Amino acid sequence: MVYKALTIAGSDSGGGAGIQADLKTFQELEVFGMSAITAVTAQNTLGVQGVYPLPLEAVAQQIDSVVVDLRPHAVKTGMLFSSSIIHLVASKIKEHQLQNIVVDPVMIAKGGAPLLQKEAIASLKSELLPLADVITPNIPEAEVLTGMEIRTIDDRKEAAKALHQLGVNYVVMKGGHGDGEQLVDLLYDGVRFYEWVSPRIETKHTHGTGCTFAAAITAQLAKGKTIYEAVDTAKQFIQAAIEDELGIGQGHGPTNHWAFRRRQR
């Protein structure tokens, strides 16, 4: 059986985040990766130098081309940029009855460049989240989506419940932006919370961690793993990718997408 996953996201010319991170991660986890590009960014480890959204027709056609011929077992969304792209992606998910939808609600790049227009947040909540099986916000994204201030682990749990109420089946709240030496990632399935606690790795090379983590979850769901198993593997994948740093670029470098595979030997 060949498992297939589609990423609908922005291109990162620097290769560490976006479409490039997703495809590399799918490949490392032995899932055939396909893409529909929403926007092209000129980007490197120092920041985002340019953002060029594609015409809606181009985004629609890429999704149609992939789905009619190569139907994916799971779909990840990343940088969607505008409310019109979000509306389009939501309608394509419905039209093609796509399954295992993982929404990474990308809003800003690590350096602060906006990857989602402010006015698009309402469409993200009302149109895309009700179709999502999984959402993978970091803490600032969860704050924007819920309007809540998140300080404690209990705050995170309240926010996860609020996101679940928007129609998402599984909320995976990433803990990279919390403080302290321990990092806590949470999974909420509407009934129970599951926690992954790990030591914070001291490094500036975390460009693309969110994309890579969500892509690993998507790949595992494409293979039919449960959400718990998928998050568990994604956690090991991102831990290895951050630990075995490549140290390339002058700024915030990419993670190491082949580290997890090498550790399996």
Ligand X SMILES: Nc1ncnc2c1ncn2[C@@H]1O[C@H](COP(=O)(O)OP(=O)(O)O)[C@@H](O)[C@H]1O
Ligand Y SMILES: Cc1ncc(COP(=O)(O)O)c(N)n1
The catalytic residue positions are: 174, 206, 208-211
Site string for ligand Y, 36-55 (x = CB under 6 A): -----x-x------------
- Chosen from ligand X, ligand Y, none, partner binding at 58 (C-beta under 5 to 8 Å by type): none
CB 208, CB 193: distance < 8 Å: no
- Chosen from ligand X, ligand Y, none, partner binding at 207 (C-beta under 5 to 8 Å by type): ligand Y
Closer residue to ligand Y, CB minimum distance, 167 or 176? 176
- Chosen from ligand Y, ligand X, none, partner binding at 78 (C-beta under 5 to 8 Å by type): ligand Y
What tokens appear for 262 in the block? 């090498």
Which residues neighbour 29 within 8 Å (Cβ) at sequence distance 6 or greater? 216, 219, 220, 223, 233, 237
| CA-closest candidate to residue 140, choices 89, 201, 187, 210 | 210
Closer residue to ligand Y, CB minimum distance, 72 or 78? 78
Residue 67, CA distances (Å) to 7, 8, 19 in order: 12, 12, 17
* DSSP states along 99-144: -SEEE----B-TTS-BSB-GGGHHHIIIIIGGG-SEE---HHHHHH
Task: Pick one of 16, 210, 253, 254: the residue that binds ligand X (CB under 6 A).
Answer: 210
Binding region for ligand Y (CB under 6 A): 9-10, 12, 17-18, 41, 43, 78-79, 106, 109-110, 115, 207-211
The site for ligand X (CB under 6 A) is made up of 138, 174-177, 183, 185, 198, 200-201, 206, 209-210, 213, 235, 238, 242
